[in-house]
Amino acid sequence: MLSFEKERNRKVAEKVIKGLQSRNMEGYFVETRDEALGLALDLIPKGSSVSWGGTYSIEEIGLKEALTQGQYTVYNRDTKKTAEEKREMMLKAHSCDTFLSSTNAITEDGVLVNLDGNSNRVSCIAYGPKQVLMIVGMNKVTKDVEHAVYRVRNLAAPVNAQRFPNGKTPCKVNGACADCKSPDTICCNLLVTRFSHEKGRIKVILVNEALGF
- CA torsion angle 109 112 113 115 (round to 10): 170
Tell whether the torsion through CA atoms of 23, 207, 162 and 119 is positive or negative: negative
What would the pLDDT profile of 99-139 be if each residue is shown by its tens digit? Answer: 999 999 999 999 999 999 989 999 999 999 999 999 999 99
Task: Name residue 40's amino acid.
Answer: A
CB 195 within 8 Å of CB 126: no
Is residue 54 predicted with pLDDT exceeding 80? Answer: yes
Q: Where does 130-196 have alpha helices with state H?
A: 145-151, 157-161, 170-174
Is residue 171 predicted with pLDDT exceeding 90? Answer: no
Is residue 38 predicted with pLDDT exceeding 80? Answer: yes
Question: Distance (Å, rounded) from C-alpha 30 to C-alpha 20?
Answer: 16
What would the pLDDT profile of 73-89 be if each residue is shown by its tens digit? Answer: 999 988 888 999 999 99
Q: Confidence class of residue 173 from pLDDT cuts 50, 70 and 90?
A: confident
Tell me the average pLDDT of the chain. Answer: 94
pTM given for the model: 0.94
CB 191 within 8 Å of CB 149: no
pLDDT value at residue 126: 98
**DSSP letter at 166?**
T
Tell me which architecture the domain covering 3-207 has in CATH: 3-Layer(aba) Sandwich (3.40)
Residue ranges of domains in the chain:
3-207
CB 158 within 8 Å of CB 169: no
pLDDT value at residue 186: 87
pLDDT value at residue 175: 87
